[in-house]
Each structure stands twice: as C-alpha cells, then as structure tokens.
Amino acid sequence: MTDLTSLTIAEAREGLASKSFTSLELTDAHLGAMEAARSLNAFVLETPDQARAMARAIDAKIAKGEGGPLAGIPLGIKDLFATKDVRTTACSKILGNFVPPYESTVTSQLWRDGAVMLGKLNNDEFAMGSSNETSCFGPVVNPWRREGSNTTLVPGGSSGGSASAVAALLCMGATATDTGGSIRQPAAFTATVGVKPTYGRCSRWGIVAFASSLDQAGPIARTVRDSAILMRSMAGHDPKDTTSVDIAVPDYEAAIGRSVKGMKIGIPKEYRLDGMPAEIEKLWTEGAAWLKAAGAELVEVSLPHTKYALPAYYIVAPAEASSNLARYDGVRYGLRVPGRSIGELYENTRAEGFGDEVRRRVMIGTYVLSAGYYDAYYLRAQKVRTLIKKDFENCFAKGVNAILTPATPSAAFGVGEKGADPVEMYLNDIFTVTVNMAGLPGIAVPAGKDAQGLPLGLQLIGRPFDEETLFSLGEIVEQAAGRFTPPRWW
C-alpha cells in the first residue's frame, strides 16, 4: 500500500469508498506524520483522540453506505476558526486557553460532510503577518528548502501552518483565511493550491475577525481538484453572517476539465513591477502560454489603481482590526493581567497579550480613524477601494473571464530575514491585496520553481462568484506545470 498521506483527497475518497482502507487508518497515518513533523511547528494543537473518534464514527457511516462528500478525510483547521470544546487562540497570547462553546459555520459544514479534524494549525497572530512569524507559538517552518541549503524558510502567512501542513503531507487539506493574501501567498510559498473565495461566499461566523470587510475563509489543498472539493463544503449562505450571500453553491469539482476555449484572460500591465525577478516574469509568461494553448485568448488589461491598493489596504485593514480587537480586554475571557483600575487592567492585559505586529496595526488603525485624520486616511482609502473595484469591473465588462498574475513577488524567504522593516513584509501582498479590496475570488496554483528550487505560484482572479472558472483554468496550469512535493528532511 502506498503511503496514505501522499494521497490526494480525490484519491482517498475513492479508497475509502472502495474500502481499500478506513478513515481510521487514514487518520492514524496523518497523526503519525504530524508527530514526526513537529519540528515544522505547523500544528499548535493536535487532537488525536477527537480525530480517531470522528474517524471511527465516519467509518461506521461509510460501512452503511452513508457519509458526506468529505467522509473520512482528515483535515487541519487554522486556529482562527472557533472549534467547539477545542482550544482556539488565533495564535495570540491574549486568548490564552480560550475554549469556545461554539463551532464556526465553515468547520461545522466540514464535519457535516464527514471530514475528520486532526488539530489546530499555526498562523500569524490574529492573521496579521505574511510569514507566520508573528504567532505566539513561534514561526512555522516551510518544508521547502533552497537546494543545497539548510536555511529555515518561512511558509508565508498568515495561513502558514495550513500551507506547511498540507505541503508536508500532515493533513489532506486545511482551512485557511485570507484578508490580504493569507491563503494565496503561503500556498505559493509551499507549492500548494490556495483559494480565496468571493467575499460573502463563505460564512465568517465563528472565525476570529481581523478585518471584517476583507476576511474570507478558503481551502488550502495539494491539487486544484482537492481545493474544489473542499470549497463545496465550506461555501454557502449563513443567516448568522449577513455579509454572506444567498447564492447556490455549485459543484466546483465539475468545473475541472471544462473547456476554456475562447475565454479571455487578462494580463494586467500594472502588475509588471520594476525590479521584478526575471524568473517571476518568465513564470507568468509561461502560465499565459499554457492557457493560450488550452484555447484561451490573452488580452492585455489595465488596472490603473493597482499601485494604491497596498497603502489603502494598510489603512482599511488596521482600522477594522483596531475595532475588532477591542473586545480582547481581559474582562470576559482569555488573558487577564490585573491592574489597580479598569484602565490599568486594559493596558496591562493588552500590552502583554498582543504581539508587536498586532499592536502596530491596532495603533495604525486607531490613528487613521481618529478625529481629524479619518477623512485624510480612512475615507480616502475607501475611495481608493471603490476605484480598485471599478478597475476590475471595467475589465470584466470588456469580456475578460479571469486575470492572470504572479501570486507573489518572490519565493519563500528565510525566517528572520524580513523582520526589521514592516513595509518590506507588507510588500509580499502586492499582487494579492487588490483581490480582497475588490471582494473577488482568487486562486494560487503552483506553476514552477525558482533558480534555487523553491516553488513559485501563479494567481488567477475571477469575476464575483465565478470560482468555477478559476478551477477550470487553475487545473490547466496545474497540468502543465506538474505537481511539486518537497523532499522530506524533517
């Protein structure tokens, strides 16, 4: 028997259905892999007992010919998702040992469909970061290394634990969240597939909020097909989240293999940055050629306000975060550091509970919303946001079906390499934030390697609620580029 952990979800689904192995066996194989890979620091909490109990229960169902679309598939859950009776911390000290008495809508849909929870995955504190170095549990290690080097690389962030665990075969797929690139950038850094759905496609209920108008849950998986399978279970309208949209969830998997003949693929000229590494440029050209070979038509498009997206994002997101994180005050749950007055209790708790990056963003956010600065910063940023959205709308109005861009401006970098200057770190999201600002769906697909053997990804941006086209196109890139698995060294 092949190593069960190397199977894709689609393959495991068949194996389980044909009774080649049980969910318990599949789960145990992953629990073993997790144990052996603790040096990657991908999981912040392993839940083996719960995993085996869930696997046994689903095995019983499978035996009776029941079980949903994800029956028996072991998954990892980003620690931003509230999981009932299982510690949920958003990887922040301020939540301490918080155990929610509720389950997020997205994860409850995964369990409804038969998935098995292996544990909680590491992420940047409150999803604020692009390298998974801001987690209170310490950085996640990328299973990929530069050829001939032992340098520890970051997996990207904020969903670094999800990407690393999926790439290192610790779980078959993972939940993740994306506010400015937190699914797509780590997917690109680890040669996994990451989907940031249209804003409103997945419920935000029960997901620790970072920036409410930008946050969106999505899957990280090893193939486009697997990500489509997970998406179908994660998506859906939720009356408990009024920003979720009541549109039927399509069978995303059915979009894979669908012809893309005649589709117009936009190549935005503004994404051709000065000083962009030649290998990124090459990857992009190659990706475009693959799509063209599949029958799509390439058109140069313009998204003129792209250059304002990152600065505007770093106003809107911290503004919302400063308000969203106000609830962590030491009064009701999580960390409490006492003081002589209520003011001191707040100050002590928040000073000790929040890490540097979170504090930085809370302060930026507070500043841009303050009287006298609101119009100059927050309001202007919202106007920019509208313009960015319009850029995309104009483009789609001209018949463009999807837009192809690089996913990141570089491959994974070393742990500690980009800590000094926060702006340098923020630049990681340069190709991804526009998608969140416009509320559009995006997918990152592994497309090649750089000169040092590190994976690089391409991003496809779709029309609102047209994730299906992204799966169709993504699979073409995947087929052309092939799949990439890191050599096991841990």
Partner 1 sequence: MNVSVKPGKLIKGQTGDWEVVIGMEVHAQVTSKSKLFSGASTEFGGEPNSHVSLVDAAMPGMLPVINEECVRQAVRTGLGLNAKINLRSVFDRKNYFYPDSPQGYQISQYKSPIVGEGEVVVELDGGKTATIGIERLHLEQDAGKLLHDQSPTMSYVDFNRCGVALMEIVSKPDIRDAEQAKAYVTKLRSILRYLGTCDGDMEKGSLRADVNVSVRKPGGPLGTRCEIKNMNSINFIGQAIEYEARRQIEIIEDGGTIDQETRLFDPNKGETRSMRSKEEAHDYRYFPDPDLLPLEFTQDYVDDLKAHLPELPDQKKARFIESLGLSSYDAGVLVAERESAVFYETVLEDLADKGRDGKLAANWVINELFGRLNKEGHGIVDSPVSPAQLAAIVSLIGEGTISGKIAKDLFEIVWTEGGDPRELVETRGMKQVTDLGAIEKVVDDIIAANPDKVAQAKAKPQLAGWFVGQVMKQSGGKANPQAVNDLLKAKLGI
Cβ atoms of 126 and 136 closer than 8 Å: no
Q: Residue 335 CB, nearest distance to partner 1 (Å)?
A: 13
The window from 95-103, 294-302, 353-361, 400-408 that contacts partner 1 (CB under 8 A) reads 95-103
Among 153, 165, 208, 335, binds partner 1 (CB under 8 A): 208
d(CA 84, CA 88): 9
Among 78, 196, 201, 204, binds partner 1 (CB under 8 A): 204
Between 348 and 366, CB nearer to partner 1: 366
Q: Is 348 in the site for partner 1 (CB under 8 A)?
A: no
Q: Which residues contact 151 (CB under 8 A, 6 or more apart)?
A: 145, 414
3-state SS assignment for residue 273: coil
Q: Residue 206 CB, nearest distance to partner 1 (Å)?
A: 4
Tokens of 52: 């085996």
d(CA 370, CA 384): 19
Q: Is 369 in the site for partner 1 (CB under 8 A)?
A: yes
Between 208 and 230, CB nearer to partner 1: 208
Site residues for partner 1, 308-347, by CB under 8 A, read: 319-320, 322-323, 325-327, 329, 331-333, 342-343, 346
Site residues for partner 1, 370-429, by CB under 8 A, read: 370-371, 374, 378
Among 74, 155, 181, 206, binds partner 1 (CB under 8 A): 206
What are the strands of the beta sheet with 402-406, ordered from one edge? 43-46, 116-121, 74-78, 173-178, 216-221, 193-196, 442-449, 455-462, 402-406, 264-268, 297-301
Q: Residue 324 CB, nearest distance to partner 1 (Å)?
A: 9
C-alpha triplet 351, 186, 141: angle, nearest 5° = 70
Q: Residue 418 CB, nearest distance to partner 1 (Å)?
A: 28
Between 329 and 467, CB nearer to partner 1: 329
H-run or E-run covering 85: none
Quickly count: other Cβ atoms within 10 Å of residue 48's Cβ. Answer: 16
Annotation says 182 is catalytic: yes
Residue 362 has, within 13 A of its CA and on its CB side, a CA count of 17
Cβ atoms of 93 and 352 closer than 8 Å: yes
Q: Residue 488 CB, nearest distance to partner 1 (Å)?
A: 35
Give the 3-state secondary structure of 302-349.
CCCCHHHHHHHHHHHHHHHHHHHHHHCCCCCCCCCCCCCCHHHHHHHH
Between 83 and 192, CB nearer to partner 1: 83
Binding footprint of partner 1 on the chain (CB under 8 A): 81-82, 88, 90, 95, 98, 100-102, 104, 204-209, 211-213, 239-243, 319-320, 322-323, 325-327, 329, 331-333, 342-343, 346, 366, 369-371, 374, 378
User: Known catalytic residues?
Assistant: 78, 158, 182
